[in-house]
Structure 1
Amino acid sequence: MFEAIRNFFASAEADLRPETDPHVAACTLLVEAALADGIYADCEQDQIRDILTGAFGLSDARVAHVLEQGEELAESAVDHHRFTKVVKACLSRQERIALVEQLWLVALADGEKSPFEDAFIRRIGPLLAVDDRDRIFARTRAEARLRTR
């Protein structure tokens, strides 16, 4: 009986903590990358939508919901550990490197290279267990993708 009550409260707590959803956690990091320079441009938000749809394969309704939660969490976040911990636990090494590339896509979407966005991604890399070499290659790939558009 106590196990059933404990399971009930555990599931209720998970519903109250959207950052435990790996899509929301990753989205929050993407929004934080966009916010790092103090400006959340529409092109950055569009880039995040494209990532949620393309890379994560989410439906339009799910994208809207995840993006709304990610934006709310990014605005109130005091650190990145609770998001990176979820992402690190749920994604493989290659997927985490892809996420770093996606962070670069968002940071560079407005056409400006901000030192604040750069510093944010340099801080996030080690928290995702992505080394400097892979982070730099991810940036190079993101820049190349943006040039071909």
Structure 2
Amino acid sequence: MTLVNAPDAIVIRTGVVPDDVELCAEIWVRALESRDGTVEVEAMGRRVRSAFQNPIIRFAVITSGRTGFALVESGRPDPTEALLHFLAVHPDGAGSGVGTALIADAVAHARLGGFQSLTLEVRTNNVRAIDVYTRAGFVPFGGEIPHPLGGYPMQSYRLALN
């Protein structure tokens, strides 16, 4: 998929496991460092790497100009629900449309997979990400939940796909 809405085209390709996994772990860690200042590099890298053992619906990577990735999984308690487990943009690409392009790609692939909804979890203080998700049509549901590693508050968001 190629999206052209800026001077540089955003080219999304299918990620390759295991070849692209280390790149994605690095993007995730750099994005968290940019947002939070510090991050437990090994723990966060392991967390990303372990997600690639789950049933994958779509693994999308952007490496043209800017870098980012998204990982959409199945295997949820509700089999009609897909999970946007990871979405990250390298700090050098923040604000360039990469995140929006990855969300559109994730939504399209979840629909193609026959899922009725796409969910995600985001830190409640991650205003930039929440803005991108809500502009894409995601709405909050349920109460706050603690992050499995850091304990900070997370909020679930859902997009109906039908």
Structure (1/2) with the larger strand percentage: 2
Q: Which has the larger radius of gyration?
A: 1
| Structure ranking higher on relative contact order (CA contacts 8 Å, 6+ apart) | 1
Tell me if both proteins adopt one fold, taking TM over 0.5 as the criterion. no
- Of Structure 1 and Structure 2, which has the larger fraction of its residues in helix? 1
Q: TM-score, normalised by structure 1?
A: 0.43
